[in-house]
Structure 1
Amino acid sequence: MSTNTAIKITLTDVMYTVLGILFCGFALKSFLVPNAFFDGGVTGISLLIHELYHFNIAYVIILCNLPFIIMGAFQVNKSFAIKTSLAIIGLALCLLYLPYPEKITSDKLLVSIFGGVFMGIGIGLAIRGGCALDGIEVLALYTGKRISFTISEIILGINIVIFLIAAVKLGLPTALYSILTYYTASRTINFVIEGLEEYTGVTIISGQNELIKEMLVKQLGRGITIYKGERGFLKESYDISHPVDIVFTVVTRLELRRLKDMVHEIDPKAFIFTSIIKEAAGGVLKRRARH
């Protein structure tokens, strides 16, 4: 990697991380903390401790994330741990010294939705910058290697415990609104990380594969991969099969409808199935319209 490219990547990561810190600070200081609302993960644990024992939220966030930063150094890498520790310290400094509006609204529905949106934007941007403002993923990664549950199931279990404690200590309505905050934040994180142009893998099996390949490459400008297979094996003619090229390509979900229409125009009997791709890079992919 050239020096200029490395500098550009580093500056981009720093920009994402700084913006993520500012958004998270805004969500905490102006929405969640003044209204005694919670989120999931380590942030939720920090907010719960702050509300129950009235410790300063800035210091609580650092202390709660510290074990997960250390864990991240072993489970991910030391660079990730250093970036994450700096980001969390930056978030704490923002909470201590930046003059955020103290309380924008007391409407519980607005707080739960927009607090979650701004928190999700912040965490998502930090992840794009190569660090984490919430260490729950690291814990799930560590635990998932030792028990049979998936990472998602582990995170869900931890969050259930957090919201149950909130319900007992602070009342069921607060816990329910906080669940809405967590859901909004998690959906926003997915949008920030994956973007509007989430990629979709498309597999096409057709007797008109030559025309379909030409259409994908020349009309849609997509790269394709060909698998050699056989089609046939019907119930009434199981012994009859024919060689076929199985076509695989990657499109954005905005282009998926157009692709299906064009394929079915060539071959109405074509078999198409799709799969969600969380991230794609290289090959013949159109440049994303946004980060």
Structure 2
Amino acid sequence: MTDTNAIKISITDTIYTIIGILFCGFALKSFLVPNAFFDGGVTGISLLIHEIYHVNIAYVIIIANIPFIIMGGFQVNKTFAVKTFLAIVGVALCLLYIPYPEKITSDKLLVSIFGGVFMGTGIGLAIRGGCALDGIEVLALYTGKRISFTISEIILGINIVIFLIAAVKVGLPTSLYSIITYYTASRTINFVIEGLEEYTGVTIISGQNVLIKEMLVKQLSRGITIYKGERGFLKESFDVSHPVDIVFTVVTRLELRRLRNAVHEIDPKAFIFTSIIKEAAGGVLKRRARH
């Protein structure tokens, strides 16, 4: 990587992180905190402590995240830990000094949805910038190496405990609305990180694979990978099989319908199945890899 590219990437990361910090501060100060709402993860723990003990949320967020930042230095790298610490301090400074509107609405449904949207946008942008505004995934990564649960299952379990405590301390209705906030935030994070160009892996098995390969490369301008396989093995003729090229390609979800239609025009009986790809770069993909 040249010095120029490194500088451009660093500037882009910084811009993403700063915008993410501003969005998170807005979500907390204008939606969640004044309405005693919660989120998942360390942010949810911080909001719960603030609500129960009335400690300034800006200080609680920093203190609550410190153990996970230290853990991130060992689990990811020191650069990630430093950037995450600075980002969380940035959120705290926003809460202390930026004059956000104190309380935009008291409508619980609006708070749960838009608080989640702004919070998810902020966290997602920070992730694109190479840091985190919530240490819960670092904990899940650390725990997942020692027990058999997946990271998603660990995060879900921790959040269930948070919302159960919230239900006991501040009431079930607020806890239920806060679950909507968490769900909205998590979906927004996925959208911000992946965008409309979230990639999908497509596997195609067809006797007309020669025409399908030509169509994918020449008409859709997609790169393809070929696996050698066999087709047949039907119940009434189990011993009969034929060699076949299994075609694999990667498209965005916006292109998936067009690809399906094009394949079925060639072979209406073609077997197609898809799989979600969290990150894709290189080859003939035009989108720049995230860092």
Q: Same fold (TM over 0.5)?
A: yes
**1:137 paired residue number:** 137
Contact 2:281–2:287 (CA under 8 A) maintained in structure 1: no
> Which position in structure 2 is the counterpart of 1:29?
29
**Which consecutive aligned stretches of 4+ in structure 1 deviate over 3 angstroms post-superposition?**
none
The match for 1:192 is 192
Q: Aligned residue for 1:271?
A: 271
Match of 2:86 in 1: 86
* Unmatched runs of 5 consecutive residues or more in structure 1: none
Distance 2:100 2:6 in 1: 34
Counterpart of 1:281 in 2: which secondary structure? coil
1:207 & 1:178 partners in 2: Cα distance? Answer: 51
After TM superposition, give the deviation of residue 236 of structure 1 in Å.
2.1
Instruction: Give the distance between the partners of 2:240 and 2:258, measured in 1 at CA.
Output: 33
Tell me, yes or no, if the aligned pair for 2:84 and 2:133 is still in contact at 8 Å. yes
| Structure 1 position 254, deviation (Å) | 1.1
User: Match for residue 180 of structure 2?
Assistant: 180
TM-score w.r.t. the length of structure 1 is 0.97
Percent identity over paired residues: 89
**What's the CA shift for 1:65?**
0.2
Note the residue ranges of structure 2 that are not aligned, 5 or more in a row.
Answer: none
Summarize the alignment of residues 74-113 of structure 1 with structure 2, pairs less than 5 Å apart.
74-113=74-113
**Superposed CA RMSD:** 1.4
Residues matched between the structures, number: 290
SS across alignment from 1:228: strand
Using the TM superposition, give the Cα deviation of residue 235 of structure 1 relative to its aligned residue in structure 2, in angstroms: 2.0
Q: Is the 8 A contact 2:16 2:129 kept in 1?
A: yes
SS in structure 1 of the partner of residue 197 of structure 2: coil
Counterpart of 1:115, as a letter, is G
Instruction: Give a deviation string over 1:245-272, Cα, whole Å, max 9, x none.
Output: 1110001111111111111111111111
Shift of residue 232, structure 1, vs aligned partner:
1.6
Separation of aligned partners in 1, 2:237 and 2:147: 47
> Counterpart of 1:285?
285
Measure, in 2, the Cα distance between the counterparts of 1:173 and 1:229.
55
